[in-house]
Every structure is written in structure tokens, then in C-alpha cells.
Amino acid sequence: MPTSIEIIKILRKAGHEAYWAGGCVRDILLGIKPKDYDIVTSAKPDEIEDLLEKTIPIGKEFGVILAIQEGHHFEVATFRSDSGYSDGRRPDAIIFTSAKEDAKRRDFTINGMFYDPIEDKIHDYVGGQKDLEARLIRFIGDPHERILEDHLRILRAIRFKNQFNFQYEPKTYTALHKHARLVVDKVAKERISAELDKMLLSEHPTEALEDMEDLGVLEVLLPEIQAMKGLAQPYKYHTEGDVWDHALLSLKSLPSGASLAVRMATLLHDVGKTVTFSVAERIRFDHHAQKSGELAKEILTRLHYPRKFIDEIVWLVTHHMMLVELLKMPEGKKRKWFLHPWFLNLMQVCEADAAGTVPGDDSLVQKVLKEYRRCMKEMPRPPKPLLSGEDVMKMLQIKPGKKVGDILNEMHELQLEMKLKTKLQATDWLKENFLNKKSAGDKKIKFTKRITKKSRQKK
């Protein structure tokens, strides 16, 4: 904050108006510490660059300069009014103008105020203070025009309304409902996913999703999730309601510190039920976890999420039904799961799944966590490989291929079972089980997992 005030002082000393603008002013009035301090000024872009020591012209054609002061970054923008948004995001042309006209071209009244930190004065040309007090989300001017200028404002309205637990001003609500289908038109997928992330990470993610469904946004943007609404579940196990009710209840149960990956996976963990519904002795969703993983991948790929993030969500969703199987696994396989970097995230998803079910029962999750703590106490980190792929190929005189990988995987599981602890034991095991069994026509090797008496004696 002091650094941004220094920038304002420099601009003011040169004879220009300069204020804090937008979200930081809103947050200050709400008693929230701002994350960023954006600055608006009457100075033109060239003048901003001349007056400030270090700048980057990140959006100079739109009057926006990035100022770097004492290692901090601040956007400094010239007062402007916009003319047309043919791409649904950026103005076709801009006119440098006054503070009042600049305020009128912004999205919501609560984001359209300026604050002078030197004179401690609010400049409110759009009624933002009044709407903050009334806890209303209201578009500045004609709500239809504001949406048509930038279709992402539909999602931003939903996000702000639920982030601050506000309500929609009636004309704003009507416009959002009318233009809901525009949410996927002329909007970069990365901008959409960024808004969804903020909603999921907020204190009211389920309310935001309910608003998306109510306004007609969910049907257009995430039809796979919309399809969960009204999808019946077996009443004996799910008295909470349909699949949509279960997903929201699960999401609501997550702790405030839950990661974005856990929140997204929880939302999507049963999305595959929409295509696996059947009725036999009861309502069934056979193999829905696998199908949910496939649909999660389609959804997140469509929204241009990073590949690593998608991989984690797919893994979490696909495996959320494997706890019974996990408890039955041999010690080595079990430890392999426990040492997986996403395992604790999987447990959070499974806990949320149980918490979102009425009648709830998290006993299975607790059994797995008890086993996890026991195993981690004995082996808190993965053991280092006793032999390399090159060692295996050299000893068995074989070429690179699947066989080498299979042998290394089996050796790793024996290490996890604590049956192989030294390089000598691993070497003896490899010789006994593979060296004397390989032949030119042998394409399948039966892995025995036995250790020689000799290697046991050499412990």
C-alpha cells in the first residue's frame, strides 16, 4: 500500500489526478485487505512512462501501463471510455477522458468507485457505496449493454454475488437470465476457468453453482453437471436427494483449506452417473467412477485447464470408489498407493463423498486412514531402487522393453513389502527368478516374488 501511494504522489506532483480504483476500493469499504492496488490517472500512457522509473507497456493501446516500484507491480491506467466490444472482451477503440466517464464504463457499481488515499476521499459516480450497504450486485448503466460488451461479466456477477453473499439487483438478474447462453460466446476458455476456480475456492461454492443452474448458465457451460440435477439415486443409500444434491452436499462438507483439485474432483466425482444409470434390483450406476473420470477429462480439456491439473482430477475421480479394494491389497501394493503424491487428496474426496451421503458412514474412510498412518510410520517415504533398468538388462542380457519395467515394478513392490532391503538381496532374487528361466521363446514370465534362502541368510 505505501508503495502504491508513492506512485500516486508522483503523478499528483506532476499535476495529474490519480486514485486507487475498482476492487481494492470495494474491499477497503468492506473491511477486506485488498490483494492488488490498481491506479487510475488523468496522465496519458507516455506521461506515465516518463514519470515512473520502471514500467512495462502491457496494454498501452488501452491506456494500461504496468509500474514496478520497489519490487511490487501495479497497473496504472489512464481514464478512458470505450467504444464497442466486437470480440466480446476488449474495446474496439478507446477515448481518454475524465474520472466520471471512466467509472461509467466499468462493470458493477461496487467496482466503479475511486479512492484518494492522500485526501482520504471516495469518488463515487455510480452509486457503489449505496449498493455495498444494500448488499446488491448491480451493473452500471444498462445491464444488457454491460453484458454484451464482455460476456464474461455473467460469470463475474455470479462470482461477486456469492463471494460477498450479496443479492442481485432485479434488472441485473433479468439481464443475466436473458443472456445466459452468451457465457460461452466470444470468451476465452482460460478466462472462464479462472472464474470457475475463484467460485470453487470461495466460501460459497455451492451457492454459486446453484445460481449458475438457476440462471441457465450451467446448462450451457457445464451440461454434464446440469444433467446431474433430477437424476435419481437409490433411496436406501441416498436419502439426501438426487446426484446434484449429493454433489453439492459433498462439496459443502469440504474444509475451508481444501485445494482447488480436491474441490473440482469432489464436484465431478459422480458426473459419470448421468450416463451409467440403470434399474435392476435397485437403481445402479455400474462403473460410474471410470466414466466420471472420462467425463472430467472431457470437461476440463474443453475449458483449457493445464494437463497436470487434469491428470490429478481424473486420477482422484476414477479412484474414489476403490477403498474396499485397497484394504484387501497385499502390503506392497497398499504401500504403493499410500505413497502416491495425490493419496491424501483422494482421502479428502472420499471423506466428502461420505459426508454428502445421507445416511452418512465414513467408517471405511477411517479404516483406510488408520492403515495409512500405520504404513507411513513404518515407511514414510518411497525406498530408493536397489537395481536400475540398466542393471536388469545387463544381468539378464535383454533389451529395453515392457519386460524390464515389469521386473522393476515387481522389485519395487517387494521393497515396499520390506522383503527386499539390500542390493545383494535384489540381485539374488533377480538371478533366481529370471536368469535361469529366460529363453528365446519365453515372452511371458511368471513372477514368483520368492526370495532365496541364501539371500535371507545374508540380511
- DSSP letter string over 233-269? --TTT-TT-SHHHHHHHHHHHS-TT--HHHHHHHHHT
Task: Give just the sign of the alpha carbon dihedral 207, 130, 5, 153.
Answer: positive
Calculate what percentage of the chain has a pLDDT beyond 70: 92
H-helix segments, 90-202: 99-104, 128-134, 143-149, 153-163, 170-178, 189-201
- Round to whole Å and give the CA distance between 28 and 26: 6
- Round to whole Å and give the CA distance between 126 and 113: 7
pLDDT classification of 215: cutoffs 50, 70, 90: very high
What's the pLDDT score for residue 439?
42
pLDDT classification of 295: cutoffs 50, 70, 90: very high
Query: Hey, what long-range contacts does 280-283 have (CB within 8 A, 24 or more apart)?
Result: 282/234, 282/236, 283/232, 283/233, 283/234
pLDDT at 125 over 70: yes
Mean pLDDT of 129-148: 97
Angle between the 189-201 and 260-268 helix axes, to the nearest 10 degrees?
A: 100
Identify the CA nearest to 287 among candidates 299, 278, 300. 278
What's the pLDDT score for residue 456?
44
- Whether residue 273 contacts residue 288, with contact meaning beta carbons closer than 8 Å, is answered with yes
pTM of the predicted protein model: 0.84
pLDDT at 98 over 90: yes
pLDDT at 77 over 70: yes
What's the pLDDT score for residue 87?
61
Q: What is the pLDDT of residues 361-378, one digit of tens each?
A: 999 999 999 999 998 887
**Residue 24 or residue 398, greater confidence:** 24
User: Ramachandran region of residue 388, left (φ > 0), alpha (ψ -120 to 50) or beta?
Assistant: beta
- Round to whole Å and give the CA distance between 373 and 344: 11
Mean pLDDT of 235-246: 94
Least confident of 11-25, 76-90, 141-155, 440-454: 440-454
What is the chain's mean pLDDT, rounded?
Answer: 91
Q: What is the pLDDT of residues 378-424, one digit of tens each?
A: 777 777 887 888 888 888 888 888 888 888 888 888 887 877 888 88
Q: What is the pLDDT of residues 439-459, one digit of tens each?
A: 433 434 444 444 444 444 444
Burial 144-179 (b: 16+ CB within 10 A, else e): eebbbbbbbbbbbbbbbbbbbebebbeebbebbeeb
What's the pLDDT score for residue 167?
98
- Round to whole Å and give the CA distance between 152 and 348: 31
